[in-house]
Structure formats: structure tokens, C-alpha cells
């Protein structure tokens, strides 16, 4: 059985991922990774797109249509499907992910660290400050990986999005933060590769020059995706739908996608 790590770099638009993520694109040059443009669902907002990525359904169907809707997901997610199949799940992520798949509302005093085999996310470390350092976030994810050995691990960083809201996607600060996250990834990805993980690195939405996102422009909706691992192959496609991520991960994990996930198979897997 294959184990999967999904890394979500919140707010990273496609052009910045293509031009500033030197290590990740080095893997592509060395034919150790594949690179795609993902077209996000709409609206290009965080909480709706967490749900889209992790359930393979559109906001009009899953009902999380803005960032202010705080409730548990009503859909089958990668977490719930894996849990029902008796696979182990883990996450180091923003607290909205806990609210969607474990507990809503998030209790800051009690819910930061969760270890409960009955939960969809069985082992989780959740942060609630957008400025929580990505360096610490990836260490949280690595702690979960080494300690609990999940079959599906979700690592979700927030600093690129935060800097984009403060300075815009055209700023030196935004581009510098992308470089920093790329450097952080270089500390982990080769180890994950050597240990046989199947890895997807992508973003939920992008960022525009107006310090924001939520609309339909390319810099808000087009995001990068890198795939790494023996189960991935070079595909003839260049642009893919965000709806393909969830069923692809399910297939790699060896579990059936939900009935609501699109039946189309991503041609970039064996």
C-alpha cells in the first residue's frame, strides 16, 4: 500500500510557484517530479477550497461557499474514507481543517493537539495564528509522520497567504516567502522520497496584486502542483481541475473514491 503526503501552500499562485520554487522545479528538471497548472474551483477562497480539495466536490455541492461558514463537512473526505478503511490519518494544518473534519467550533485551549483514533483526522496539530511560522508547521508535520506513521498526511502552511495579504502578489516580500517555503521543503522532500511516499505539493488558491483573492482572475485561480513518487508518471496534460486531487489520492491509497468525486482518472498516475 502507498502512503501519501499532501502539502498545501496556502495562497501560492501559479506564476510564483513556477518562477520562485527553485528546489521543487529542480526535481522537475531532474525528472523526479511532474509539474502542472491546477485550475481552482470558485470562489477562490480558503475554506471552500480546503473542502473542494479534500472531498473532490464543488462549493455549490458541499455548501462551504465562503470563509465564514463554520461547520463540519457533510461530504466524504479523504480523511473519512481512509478512516473507514482502517487507514491512519494525520494533519498539521490551520484550525479550519479541524473544524471541517474533526471538531467545530475549534476550542483554542483544548483542540490544538488531537490524538483520537475515533476522529477522521486521528493525529493532528492545528494552529490558529496566520503568522505561525512555516518552519514550525513543517516540524509539526514531520513529528506526526515519524511518531504516528499515517497512511495519509496533510501538511498545510499559511505564511505565503499572509504575506500576500499584507504586501500583494507583486511584492518582493511575497516572492521571498515563496523562496523560503521552497527551502523548507528541500529539508524534507528527499527524505520522503527515499522512504517511498507519494507526494503532492499544491495550493488552494493564488493571490492578486490587490492583496487579495476570491475572484476569477488567473493569479487568483491558477495554482501550481508538483507530483512526486513512483505512482506518478509524466502526463500529456498541462492544466488539470482541482477536483482531480481527491480521487487521485484515494486511488493511490488503495481506497475507492466517494460517489460524488468525479469519475475521470488523472492521467498522471499509473
In this predicted structure, what is the pLDDT of residue 237?
Answer: 77
Cell of 257: 473514491
Alpha-carbon separation of residue 121 from 81, 116, 127, 174 (angstroms): 11, 8, 15, 31
Q: CA 175, CA 24: separation in Å to the nearest integer?
A: 15
Where do runs of H (alpha helix) occur along the chain?
14-20, 22-29, 46-55, 59-62, 78-84, 95-101, 134-148, 159-167, 172-186, 189-194, 218-221, 245-253
Q: Which helix (H) or strand (E) holds 3?
A: none
Which position has the grid cell 498522471? 268
The tens digit of pLDDT for each residue in 115-173 reads 999 999 999 999 999 999 999 999 999 999 999 999 999 999 999 999 999 999 999 99
For residue 5, name the pLDDT band (cuts at 50, 70, 90): very high
The tens digit of pLDDT for each residue in 74-116 reads 999 999 999 999 999 999 999 999 999 999 999 999 999 999 9
In this predicted structure, what is the pLDDT of residue 1?
Answer: 78
Which position has the grid cell 487568483? 220
Q: Domains of the chain (ranges plus CATH)?
A: 4-253 (3.40.720.10)
Amino acid at each position: 500500500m502507498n502512503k501519501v503526503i499532501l502539502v498545501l501552500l496556502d495562497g501560492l499562485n501559479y506564476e510564483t510557484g513556477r518562477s520562485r520554487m527553485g528546489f521543487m522545479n529542480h526535481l522537475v528538471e531532474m525528472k523526479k517530479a511532474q509539474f502542472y497548472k491546477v485550475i481552482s474551483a470558485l470562489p477562490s477562497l480558503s475554506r471552500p477550497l480546503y473542502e473542494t480539495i479534500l472531498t473532490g466536490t464543488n462549493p455549490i455541492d458541499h455548501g462551504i461557499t465562503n470563509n465564514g461558514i463554520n461547520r463540519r463537512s457533510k461530504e466524504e473526505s479523504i480523511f473519512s474514507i481512509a478512516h473507514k478503511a482502517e487507514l491512519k490519518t494525520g494533519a498539521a494544518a490551520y484550525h479550519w481543517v479541524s473544524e471541517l473534519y474533526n471538531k467545530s467550533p475549534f476550542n483554542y485551549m483544548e483542540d490544538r493537539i488531537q490524538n483520537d483514533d475515533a476522529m477522521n483526522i486521528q493525529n493532528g496539530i492545528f494552529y490558529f495564528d496566520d503568522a505561525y511560522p512555516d518552519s514550525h508547521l513543517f516540524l509539526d508535520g514531520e513529528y506526526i509522520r515519524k511518531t504516528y506513521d499515517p497512511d495519509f498526511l496533510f501538511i498545510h502552511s499559511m505564511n505565503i497567504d499572509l504575506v500576500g495579504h499584507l504586501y500583494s502578489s507583486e511584492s518582493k516580500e511575497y516572492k521571498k516567502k515563496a523562496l523560503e517555503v521552497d527551502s523548507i521543503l528541500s529539508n524534507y522532500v528527499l527524505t520522503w522520497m527515499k522512504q517511498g511516499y507519494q507526494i503532492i505539493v499544491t495550493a488552494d488558491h493564488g493571490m492578486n496584486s490587490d492583496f487579495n483573492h476570491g475572484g476569477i482572475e488567473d493569479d487568483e485561480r491558477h495554482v501550481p502542483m508538483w507530483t512526486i513518487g513512483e505512482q506518478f508518471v509524466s502526463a500529456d496534460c498541462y492544466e488539470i481541475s482541482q477536483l482531480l486531487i481527491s480521487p487521485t489520492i484515494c486511488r493511490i491509497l488503495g481506497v475507492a473514491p466517494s460517489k460524488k468525486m468525479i469519475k475521470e482518472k488523472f492521467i498522471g498516475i499509473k
